[in-house]
Structure 1
Amino acid sequence: MIYKKYRRLLIFILSALFGLLSSFTIPAWSNSPNPQSLAREGQQSYNIGDLEAAAKLWQAAAEAYQKIGDRERMSKSLINKSQALQDLGLYPKACKTLLEAFDIKNPDCSQTQIEQLYKTLAQQRGSLTLTQAIGLHSLGDVLRRQGLLAKSQEILQLSLSSIPESPQKSAVLLSLGNTERVLGNQIRDRWDYDVVTEIIDRQSLTDALAPYQQAFNYYIQAANIASAPPIPKIQAQLNHFQLLLEMQRWWRDQTNRRIVSWSRFSESQLIQRAKDFVSRLDLQLNQDALTLQNQITPNLATLAPSRAAIYAQINFAESLIQNAQINKVEPLLENALQQARILQDKRAETYTLGYLGKLYLKQGQFSQATKLTQQALILAQEENINGDAREITYLWQSQLGTLLRKQADFKGAIAAYTAAFNTLQSLRSDLNANNQDVQFDFLQEVKPVYLELADLLLQSNLSDDELNSLIVPNPSIKQEKSNTNKPQKRLELARQVIESLQLAELDNFFQDPCSEAANVAVQIDSIDSTAAVIYPIVFPDRLEVILSLSGKSLQEIVIPINEQEINDTLDRLYDYLDNVTINDSARNILSTSNPNPRELKENLQTLLPTFEQIYNWLIRPFETQLNSNQIKNLVFVLNGRLQRVPIAALYDGQNYLIEKYSVALVPSLQLINPQRLEKQQIKVLAAGVSEQIQVQGEFFAALVNVPKELDQIKQTFPASEKLLNRDFTAKTIQKQLKLNFPVVHLATHGLFSSNPQKNFIITGDGQSISINELSTLLKEPGKAVELLVLSACETATGDERAVLGLAGMAVRSGARSTLASLWPVGDASTAKFMGEFYQNLKKPGGKQADALRNAQLSLLESLKLNPPFPELKNLPPHPYYWAPYVLVGNWQ
């Protein structure tokens, strides 16, 4: 998560900029000519960008030194080899190589091995050699890129303490700054909506910058060491500069989002405080950034040609483009290109050509931009022949697609974007498995590739034959044979692209390829003939919705509404429904001990037109087809802000959607196992917490109706097992799951958020179980969990990616489906709802989605007959009471 907006430099550039290029030229070689020769050849290969050859030569040198008993120089060669592997993005291999350098037997880079190495070397603190310190430095970088940030921090601190007066100190401080920067991003990205709102409202610049203060300190120290080589010093300044610009944009976006919300409620004082906050923050960050820029410019000009110098210039050029200083970029990139050619460094040359192409694209010089991008792509593909340059190749394939589209060559654009799409699909598992450090940036960078390709396909008027000639299928997905007409082919391709985006987003969320997709492009025909799958896709200029019906060609409708209007509508819905920072939201009205009926009535009257608007987008265009095909189940594949909409509450002007259809969400049809729940064999592992409980200093309220909820389950399914309070622990869950429970019901506090490590449930012994830990518990070999019910859990407010935590829970846990809620519901109504749900689940022939629908309808009818306030008697029941429950995954 090093960059949000500086993403195109990606893995190889990140490796070069954050690595230890100057540290690894260790000239003190043995007198033995063979290892010395091998080591020098390795350095030469590395200097011209032939990383695979460099790694092999350094490995050979290490083996030769080992034979003559020169342990010190063997370690140096292995450290050099590790740097080459890092630059290739092969972080697990680089980590194992470093452990070899420290004489660890059978290195597997497990946390246990890392911890043991740290303990051993920490005891020798103060007497470590320079080679050991350099090895620790490199290991700290690898651990950061693998997401082990606390370990990276520890290892780098140990390296720093071992080289107090060495020129290497600047490079270690740079790496510490980078690790602290990633930690800062984690803190910032995991702030709840109301935490950010409070910082803006208090106008606290200190709190706004707090996550990055340590990173700033390390960057400043790195740049101020007089004896250090110029490269790490200027890299520290560049990273500091980028971070200032990134923070400025992030806070502007967050502040503007709140100003829009507050404008709906005429909160003039809040709006003025927000404007004052962002104005003061801008002033401070602009001053700091200008000071740094004035230092960077002359420092860059003094660098001798090297790969690190080339990437430093590209890095600065990218920052200047983002900072709207485009007039200063071309001389930097032209100089970098000249240096790359002098050094015969093909990888550096392809990056420089590509970024020159990007510059001309920004300036509207499409012909020149296309020529440069094609040159960059040819070089990247040549590099791919000898090694793995896919992370470079897709950049220029997608950039070429953008350029061809702008020049109205839609056929060429589809071909280019398809090539980029296939490259990304092949990278999917490799990058996710190797590099957690740039995961989120990787997704943000590549998401436009998926959307642009889908956009082009949906607007294409090419024939099937033309499309087939352009599109090389991704070999990881086998296509089912079917007689399709032209729209089916075009739409099917677009749907596959959107499905792939959903998978990539889940992979990114968990920072590994956790979701095992089906190896066949799944059709609705093979799942449920009474279901329709609806794919809404938001483009900048329109909303497109694809409908998939069993035995029918895909259908599409185009709604001429731009992305800003869609987001404004969805934000308005969120503000009135669940925004804890808005006084008039339903959540705040109903959370008071004595809710005001008039406020709740006004809130509902505001919400209903918004729910109707979304209904008009997603459902109304297909009403005739849904009725004529006797559709009973609607399955939604949602992305972006649509993910936090309670779909069951969409309103047609008279009825809610749930009154006509059962509703389910799926992250992707490719993740669905359509097996039905065997009703005769249902037994439930029902666990819950009813007492007030304290976890890590935070108190969670008593859920007094949980015993009733668990008793109802036991009555409905007598073979069930009940675990209440102290009996509900991770160990008891693990023990009971060995007895094969197809349904697991957890009635306890929990949270879904955009932070996978912040997805948790509370157990009766005052502990929390993370989503990863729960996944391990539920994946008992041979004991598949069909349905996971999470009662009393909620999704993080204001968190657009939080529903990924819910969807991911369904996928990651091994359960085929998950039932949970989008916002907290009173435990009394939850107990009643869950009782209804299980009674419906027991009925023969019914589906899980039907059981959910009937339970919601029961709640709706109860609210119609007995509204909570007389003022609501002639209005539909407020969705806040009944609509948060969602079923994710297999709806059968």
Structure 2
Amino acid sequence: MIYKKYRRLLILIFSGLLGLLSTITIPVRSHSLNLQALSNQSCSSASPCPQQNADAGALELARDGERRYNAGDLEAAAQLWQQAAESYEKIGDREGMTKSLINKSQALQDLGLYPKACKTLLQVFAIPNPNCSASQIEQLQKNLTQKPDSLTRTQAIGLQSLGDVLRRQGLLQKSQEILQLSLSSLPESPAKSAVLLSLGNTERALGNQIRDRWDYDLVTEIIDRKSVIDALAPYQKAFNYYQQAVNIASAPAIPKVQAQLNYFQLLRETQEWWNEQTNRRIASWKRFSEAKLIQRAQDFNSQLQSQLSQDAQTLQNQIPSQLATLTPNRAGIYAQINYAESLLHSNQTSEVESLLKNALQQARTLQDKRAETYALGYLGKFYRQQGELTQATQLTQQALMLSQEQNITGDAREITYLWQSQLGGLLRKQGNSKGAVAAYTAAFNTLQSLRSDLNANNQDVQFDFIQEVKPVYIELVDLLLKSNLSNEELNYLIVPNPNLNRQKAETKKAQDRLELARRVIESLQLAELDNFFQDPCSETTNVAVQIDNIDPSAAVIYPIVLPDRIEVILSLAGKPLQEVKIPIQESAVNETLDRLYDYLDNSSINNSARNIFSTSNPNPRELKENIETLLPIFAEVYNWLIKPFENQLNSNQIQNLVFVLNGRLQRVPIAALYDGQKYLIEKYSVALVPSLQLISPQKLQRQKLKVLAAGVSEQIKVQGEFFAALVNVPKELEQIKQTFPGSQKLLNQEFTAKTIQKNLQQNYPVVHLATHGLFSSNPQRNFIITGDGQSISIDELSNLLKETGTTVELLVLSACETATGDERAVLGLAGMAVRSGARSTLASLWPVGDTSTAVFMGEFYQHLKQPGTKQIEALRKAQLSLLESLKSNPTFPELKNLPPHPYYWAPYVLVGNWQ
């Protein structure tokens, strides 16, 4: 079912507790301000005010709005406050109208209708034809900054509400600026506490964005330096604002306790994150007996955990007494649920049941159905944790039914999917696998219906989104792959895709089960890519794409790491999907992949290939030991992904292997998988895709091929950092020019953003950039260096490529690298293609020598020029050329009996269309 209202988003996902419960700032002071201010007029029956009847009518509408709001009827509350605003406007009461509009915007925010909430708030400031565009927000900010004394207290509160809306739309910097303006416009008063709370929430979102985009090396450096200050730096402003909100003695109870709750939860989440990161590095250093590094990491973690635990305990001592003072209302109910969930998460369950039962009773007294479904659902979660599965199931079903009832008149999908997935987990735990599949499928369908909403309009939650919803996808895939459901049962599960190609009747059962699993994994890949860029960058084909429609000589391989096994799905043209199960624990898979990374590319490990090759005189003995250690690991991954399908690949004359990777597999150089005799690239061409649904399968038109080739060969300084000279870049560009005479060459000062933009108008299907650059989990840190000493971000480059209207078939990023150890960095390469309109990207996973890069690129373009040669084949032939050269002329005699080290030739990856 597709819902008509697309702007009600996952308010519940902003923070780790899945929740609105940690971030919602229901401005009760805003509602009470409205009614209190209106009721304090010096009017009586003996001395009536002018237009008293009109005032009374508007006041009654406002009070009805508050009653409806507190009962959870948000649509009705918004309508009543709109009517109140119109009534006040008719009688010329600007203040009454302003307060009613602010209240209306809060109800709209709670519904997830952020554009409408934003437009409503712009009416408060008399913005004509409000559309909440960036220019309107900018103009409003400029006007108010020039006249800060012109703001009334009510308008300052309106600014706070606007800051909340902007945060929920992902405009974090603008939210911060608007909230600062609100704070500076308020006199010293209790109202400041709520603004400080909102500022804390915005800084928390900014902190999440910063921390989650740190690459492996940066986190390792912080641990190695034992820098607690740097570890907490992303959240220090949030900590400070929350503490300031609490310290305002005259502040109302609600914003104060909400600040304490958010602070408490942020401390707990930060503890968990750093504990996981530190233990991961300790595990790596133990492999190499790095005693000093291990001790430093343990000292760092002990110091950090002690500090955070002490702060959390202080808050935990304060929160219960604060909760006890709250008046039973919507905000108070959510505060209790928030605290209960935080305690549940940290296995402190003694107070949880009474907190949730009290919240449930209050919700029923207020007839607040939304609050009631939350209280029921989290009670179900509590009983599940206690092992009382029957009671947990009953409560979860009640919560789900209540949320589904609200979907009839409104939209409670952001609640519904929570209880659908929780029910799935409970049914699975009780052995009801069919019921569990149905419940998880319902959650999956609900999330799919929300996908465009999340992309379009609630961007601050997206990074957390993938962390929170990924278990729904993985659990469903796990169950589907284990299931023996009939065709009829399967057909009722997932919203049907009318373009789904069905196989012959005799293979339909196996095909359907695997096809549904494949679709779920594809959906997860799309969600992760959208989430990476935090906007709807991936326009899918909206069909179930089959390899038959793209390349009959290719096989698509989907490795899925599950808790107790690896499942690998194989897609061959004209054949039903096939699967194999590798019985290995997820922890063992991750340990193997971490070992591979440690020996190959971990800069904190002395004997990693990266560090050995970076020295001026590599030690041949160390190189020999390194490759001898790596080969068995590459062989183990080969045995997982390729060996089970060797016969099928051979009998079907497969030439190209296309991998859809997730998690830590994304940083594996797949071409270097080893069968004991040969590398994978010696048998097949290899490419990566984020999803088949993003592939435009057209082949490169060789007769029109010309390249826009730009590069930087000189040492260059950008923002205080020196980038080494790439002395072979002129040779690299000249080779391209000779191979494709119609090409354009831009070297050093000729290579600027403007010259790229100008030349792109000449319709170059291939763009080659030979310069320093980086791709990481942080789109803002994805950049390339131009010859005028500037950097072009991924967004700027994408815009340059799109503005010309030219379709770039292939974007080659020579000398650029992906961030060390960054599992999501390959998404940067995929996203570069998707966002820019380029159909594929060729880049490297780690820095490659300048000389070998020039040789490799020359080989690549020579092969690409040949009629009928696909990009994937040209890449393979160029890599094989390096391999054969190294076999004939090994770097050291000690290596002559070993396969050439993958560090020389394996980092090059083709992401996207491989044709």
TM-score of the alignment, normalized to the shorter chain, above 0.5: yes
Query: For structure 1, which segment, 204-213 or 235-244, has the greater mean C-alpha deviation from structure 2 after superposition?
Result: 204-213
Correspondence for 1:735 among 758, 761, 766: 758
* CA RMSD in angstroms, aligned pairs only: 1.7
Other-structure match for 1:23: 30
Match of 2:897 in 1: 874
Q: Which residue of the partner structure matches residue 431 of structure 2?
A: 408
The residue number in structure 1 matching 2:16 is 7
- Residue in structure 1 matched with residue 653 of structure 2 by the alignment: 630
Q: For 1:606, which of 624, 629, 637 is the aligned residue? A: 629
Select 2:692's aligned residue among 660, 669, 674.
669
Specify which of 847, 859, 865 is matched with residue 842 of structure 1.
865
Q: Which residue number corresponds to residue 41 of structure 2?
A: none
Deviates further, 669-678 or 861-870: 861-870
The structure-2 alpha-carbon separation of the partners of 1:108 and 1:710, relative to structure 1 and needing over 3 Å to count, comes to farther
Q: Measure, in 1, the Cα distance between the counterparts of 2:125 and 2:788.
A: 41
Question: Which amino acid is 1:581 matched to?
Answer: S
Shift in Å at residue 182 of structure 1?
Answer: 1.9
What residue identity is the alignment partner of 1:7? Answer: G
- Seq. identity, %: 77
Whether the aligned pair in 2 keeps the contact of 1:760 and 1:771 (CA below 8 Å) is: yes
Residues 547-604 of structure 1 deviation map (CA, whole Å, 9 limit, x = unaligned): 1100111110000001000000000000010111111111111111121111111111
Cα gap change, 1:285 to 1:409, in 2 (>3 Å): same
Equivalent position amino acid for 1:9 in 2: L
1:391 to 405, 414, 420: 414
AA partner of residue 580 (structure 1): S
Shift of 1:673: 0.9
2-side partners of 1:420 and 1:454: how far apart? Answer: 13
Q: Tell me, yes or no, if structure 1 residue 479 matches structure 2 residue 508.
A: no
Superposed, which structure 2 residues align to 1:294-313 within 5 Å?
A: 294-313=317-336
Code of the aligned partner of 2:842: L
Q: CA deviation at 1:298?
A: 1.2
Residue 656 (structure 1) aligned with residue 679 (structure 2): yes
Q: CA offset at residue 655 of structure 1?
A: 0.6
The one-letter code sitting in structure 2 at the alignment partner of 1:557 is: V
Letter in 2 for 1:63: E
Match of 1:148 among 162, 167, 171: 171
Distance 1:261 1:2 in 2: 38
1:825 — aligned with what? 848
The superposition leaves residues 600-636 of structure 1 with CA deviations (integer Å, 9 ceiling, x where unpaired) of 1111111010000000000001000000000000000
Please state how far the C-alpha of 1:474 moved relative to its aligned partner.
Answer: 4.8
Shift of 1:782: 4.3
User: Quick check: 1:91–1:142 contact (8 Å CA) kept in 2?
Assistant: yes
| Stretch deviating more after TM superposition (679-688 or 267-276) | 267-276
Aligned residue type for 2:758: K
Q: Is the 8 A contact 1:705 1:831 kept in 2?
A: yes
Structure 1 residue identity aligned to 2:707:
V
Residue in structure 1 matched with residue 710 of structure 2 by the alignment: 687
Q: Are 2:773 and 1:766 aligned? A: no
What residue in structure 2 maps to residue 101 of structure 1? 124
- Secondary structure of 1:326's aligned partner: coil
Q: Is 2:90 the partner of 1:64?
A: no
**Residue 694 of structure 1, CA deviation:** 1.9
Residue of structure 1 equivalent to 2:466: 443
**Aligned 8 A contact 1:2 1:181 in 2:** no
Deviation at 1:18, TM superposition (A): 2.9
- Tell me, in whole angstroms, the C-alpha distance in 1 between the residues paired with 2:638 and 2:360: 53
* Residue 3 (structure 1) shift: 10
Show the counterpart of 1:228: 251
Task: Give the deviation of 1:2 after TM superposition.
Answer: 11
Bigger shift: 148-157 or 302-311? 148-157
2:101 — aligned with what? 78
Q: Residue 316 of structure 2 corresponds to which residue in structure 1?
A: 293
Secondary structure of 1:327 counterpart? coil
Aligned to 1:864: 887
The alignment partner of 2:148 has SS state of coil
Structure 1, 121-130 or 712-721: larger mean CA deviation: 121-130
> What SS does the corresponding residue of 1:794 show, helix, strand or coil?
strand
Distance of 1:384 and 1:292 partners within structure 2: 37
Matched with 2:44 is none
Cα deviation 1:734-786 (Å, max 9, x = unaligned): 22222211111111111111111111111222222221221111124642111
CA contact under 8 A between 1:531 and 1:631: conserved in structure 2? yes
CA contact (8 A) 1:787 1:818 kept: yes
Cα distance, 1:169 vs structure 2: 0.6
Secondary structure of 1:566's partner? helix
1:718 maps to which residue? 741
Contact 1:79–1:98 (Cα < 8 Å) also in 2: yes
Deviation at 1:202, TM superposition (A): 2.6
Q: What amino acid is aligned across from residue 602 of structure 1 in structure 2?
A: E
- The question of 1:372 aligning with 2:395 is answered yes
Query: Contact (CA 8 Å) 2:22, 2:262: kept in 1 or not?
Result: no
Asked if 1:242 is matched to 2:265, the reply is yes
Larger deviation, residues 820-829 vs 277-286: 277-286
Which amino acid in the other structure matches residue 533 of structure 1?
A: V
C-alpha distance in structure 2 between counterparts of 1:472 and 1:613, whole Å: 35
Q: Is the 8 A contact 1:793 1:820 kept in 2?
A: yes
> In 1, are the aligned partners of 2:502 and 2:508 still within 8 Å (CA)?
no
Distance 2:850 2:403 in 1: 58
- 1:24-52 Cα offsets, whole Å, 9 max, x none, are 33113484244333322222221111112
Aligned with 2:226 (options 198, 203, 207): 203
**Structure 1 residue 213: Cα displacement:** 1.9
* One-letter amino acid of the counterpart of residue 574, structure 1: Y
The residue identity in structure 1 corresponding to 2:522 is E
Task: Name stretches of at least 5 consecutive residues in structure 1 with no aligned partner.
Answer: none
Query: What SS does structure 2 have at the residue aligned with 1:686?
Result: strand
Deviates more, 1:147-156 or 1:563-572: 147-156
Residue in 1 that maps onto 2:638: 615
Kindly indicate whether the alpha-carbon contact (under 8 Å) linking 1:649 and 1:657 is maintained by their aligned counterparts in 2: yes
- Of the structure 1 ranges 174-183 and 563-572, higher mean CA displacement relative to structure 2 is found in 174-183
TM-score by length of 1: 0.97
Alpha-carbon distance in structure 2 between the residues aligned to 1:716 and 1:543: 44
CA contact (8 A) 1:2 1:185 kept: no
Do the aligned partners of 2:767 and 2:808 also contact (CA within 8 Å) in 1?
yes
- Residue among 179, 182, 186 paired with 1:159: 182
Question: Quick one: distance in 1 between partners of 2:94 and 2:865?
Answer: 69
> Is contact 1:9-1:315 (8 Å) kept?
no
Paired positions, count: 888
Report the equivalent of 2:524.
Answer: 501
Aligned counterparts of 2:535 and 2:209: Cα–Cα separation in 1? 17
Deviations 1:489-547 (A, max 9, x none): 11111111101110011111111221111121001111111100000000000001011
Cα distance in 1 for partners of 2:584, 2:162 equals 50
SS at 2:558 equivalent: strand
Task: For residue 434 of structure 1, report the CA deviation from its aligned partner.
Answer: 1.3
Q: Work out the CA distance in 1 between the residues paired with 2:785 and 2:132.
A: 31
1:265-344 equivalence runs, <5 A:
265-344=288-367
Comparing 387-396 and 110-119, the one that deviates more: 110-119
Aligned to 2:283: 260
Counterpart of 1:151, as a letter, is K
Secondary structure, aligned partner of 2:275:
helix
One-letter amino acid of the counterpart of residue 495, structure 2: P
Does residue 700 (structure 1) correspond to residue 700 (structure 2)? The answer is no
Can you list the C-alpha shifts for 1:204-263, whole angstroms capped at 9, x where unaligned? Answer: 222222222221111111111111100000011111111111111111111101110000
Distance 2:856 2:78 in 1: 61
1:806 aligns with 2:813: no
Q: How far, CA to CA, are the matches of 2:28 and 2:855 in structure 1?
A: 64
1:591 aligns with 2:597: no
Match in the other structure for 2:780: 757
**Helix, strand or coil for the counterpart of 2:605?**
coil
Structure 1 residues 629, 259: closer, same or farther in 2, change over 3 A?
same
| Code of the aligned partner of 2:501 | E
Cα distance change, pair 472–654 in 1 and its aligned pair in 2 (3 A): closer
Q: Is residue 522 of structure 1 aligned with residue 531 of structure 2?
A: no
Preserved CA contact (<8 Å) 1:737 1:780: no
User: Do the aligned partners of 1:340 and 1:349 also contact (CA within 8 Å) in 2?
Assistant: yes
Is there any run of 5+ residues in structure 2 with no aligned partner, and where? 1-9, 39-50
2:133, 2:715 → 1: CA distance? 38
Contact 1:336 1:352 in 2 (8 A): yes
For 2:82 and 2:496, the matched residues in 1 are separated by 35
Is the Cα contact below 8 Å between 1:422 and 1:474 reproduced in 2? no
Displacement after TM superposition at 1:481 (Å):
3.8
